[in-house]
Amino acid sequence: MLDHFSVMVRDLPASAAFYDAVLAPLGGRRIMEPGPIGYGVDRPDFWLVPAPEGGAPLEAHIAFTAPDRAAVQAFHDAAVAAGAEVLHAPRVWPEYHPTYYGAFVRDPDGNNVEAVCHRPA
């Protein structure tokens, strides 16, 4: 259902380095730049947009689809290596559904970023 999504960031190079690292295990890559940076698999559907000077970005929640549970773990590991705050380590979230497997971290601007796999183990 998601066509594209963008978040405002204070430090575009720092945020780009973070998303380069955490989206790679999910099959994502930079597709368009300079200016706003567009990430995706086949087309840009996730964008980093510089925040206005003196403006503070607002927290967003972004959930990226992972092809399997190993990719969720790789996303988590890449985020930790990039210095992200871990909100929730990879685990099953049965309150969402029996095979919902996700990990949640904060990006450099405080956004809640998740990788989720809906497939069984």
**pTM for the full model?**
0.82
**pLDDT value, residue 14:** 94
**Pairing relation of β-strands 101-106 and 112-117?**
antiparallel
Length of the chain: 121
pLDDT in tens, the chain (121 residues): 566 888 989 899 999 999 999 999 999 999 999 889 999 999 899 999 988 887 666 778 899 999 999 999 999 999 999 999 999 999 999 998 999 999 999 999 899 999 999 999 8
**Pairing relation of β-strands 37-40 and 29-32?**
antiparallel
Q: Among 112, 107, 113, which residue's Cα sits nearest to residue 65?
A: 113
